[in-house]
Amino acid sequence: MDVILLRKNRMDAANRLTLNGFTAAALALAIFGLMPLLALYAGYHWGANRAELSPEQVAAALHAELAEQRAQVEEVRRVAQENVNALARRLGQMQAHVIRLDALGHHLTQAAQLDGGEFDFENPPGIGGPESTIAEAIPPHDFMKMLDDLALQIEDRSVQLGVLENLIMNRNLMAEVLPAGRPITSGWMSSSYGTRTDPFSGRRVYHNGVDFAGKEGSDVVALGSGVVTFAGRRGGYGKLVEINHGNGYVTRYAHHKEILVEVGETVKRGQVIALLGSTGRSTGPHVHLEVLRDGKVVNPIQYVRASR
């Protein structure tokens, strides 16, 4: 195959390039193969120019994009509102907990008879200091951490106050069960503890309790809270009530006209347990009181004189 190369100057002679058969075939294939690609590119470029959007179409596309952005903003607002509502609920719960703690604090202050200045639940704790020169907004995650720390502090305070309440209740319970006061609501002490002249034999004998005289049928009350371990007749005691107060304390009340409690019954301090009488070895209406500690009779007068 011969290829003739022409020169720009007509006066110059043309050059002839001779190609063998294989080279000529490859060159022809390359030329004819590029022609469809060139045609495809030209068609695409022509179609793209013809496919330009109209103003109405551009406006519609912008409206669609704005609608999508509005939906995204509404979703963000909804999530933010849910977070705000969650924070509000959490703050409300914490405030309610603080109110309960304040009420418990008032109860403990009154029960323990503490000075209001020592344990004040009405006013916030005193805090302060010089104003900082740098004031920065609290990031949301730091705010949540502050809430978590406050919740832990409140929980710790609640536990400590609960322990304090239990201690005070136990102290009050011990004071309630310890025998104290008089076994009658009206009357007088007619015989003391210790050596005395027996009213029946006239001999000097040891009196294991104290006697309180009064009007027959008047109230006989328990000196402390406890459980009735005996209620019935017992020899010279006549009609007897025995109460176990725990911690080794037992009290006995004798010579009743009528017993108002039963064995196994729980009684409280000041509760009426019998009516004053003169049953058993007795010269008249009175109640014979005995106090036992760890199984041994002790002088009841120290408990009689104890403050209620």
Let me know whether 198 and 297 are in one domain.
yes
Q: Establish if 41 belongs to a structural domain.
A: yes
Is 131 within a domain? no
Listed range (192-201, 225-234, 278-287, 292-301) with the worst mean pLDDT:
192-201
Q: What is the CATH number of the domain that holds 229?
A: 2.70.70.10
In this structure, the answer to whether residues 168 and 253 fall within a common structural domain is no
What is the predicted pLDDT for the residue at 223?
Answer: 95
Asked whether residue 132 is domain-assigned, the answer is no
pLDDT of residue 5: 46
Give CA 91 to chain center in angstroms: 14
Listed residues 177, 204, 222: the one ending a domain: 177
How crowded is residue 193: how many other Cβ atoms within 10 Å of its Cβ?
A: 21
Percent of the chain scored above 90 by pLDDT? 35
Q: Are residues 11 and 96 in the same domain?
A: no
- pLDDT top residue among 290 and 143: 290
Phi, psi of 120 (to 5 degrees): -100, 120
What pLDDT, on the 0 to 100 scale, is given for residue 3?
47
Using an 8 Å Cβ cutoff, are 241 and 230 in contact? yes
Residues 214 and 278 in one domain: yes
User: What total of structural domains would you count in the chain?
Assistant: 3
Q: Is the pLDDT of residue 202 over 90?
A: no
Whether 130 is in a domain gets the answer no
Residue 128 inside a domain? The answer is no
Q: In terms of domains, do 223 and 279 share one? A: yes
- For residues 157 and 47, the model is more confident at 157
HEC states along the chain? CEEEECCCCCCCCCEEEECCHHHHHHHHHHHHHHHHHHHHHHHHHHHHHHCCCCHHHHHHHHHHHHHHHHHHHHHHHHHHHHHHHHHHHHHHHHHHHHHHHHHHHHHHHHHHCCCCCCCCCCCCCCCCCCCCCCCCCCCHHHHHHHHHHHHHHHHHHHHHHHHHHHHHHHHHHHHHHCCCCCCECCCEEEECCEEEECCCCCCEEEECCEEEECCCCCEEECCCCEEEEEEEECHHHCEEEEEEEECCEEEEEECCCEECCCCCCEECCCCEEEECECCCCCCCCEEEEEEEECCEEECCHHHHCCCC
Percent of the chain with pLDDT strictly greater than 70: 57
Rg (the chain; Cα; Å): 53
Q: What is the pLDDT of residues 50-102, one digit of tens each?
A: 456 666 676 677 777 777 877 777 787 787 777 777 776 777 777 777 777 76
pLDDT of residue 157: 67
Please determine, for residue 251, whether its predicted confidence score (pLDDT) is greater than 70. Answer: yes
Residues 172, 209 share a domain:
no
β-partners of residue 231 are 241
Residue numbers of the domain that contains 251 = 188-304
pLDDT for position 32: 55
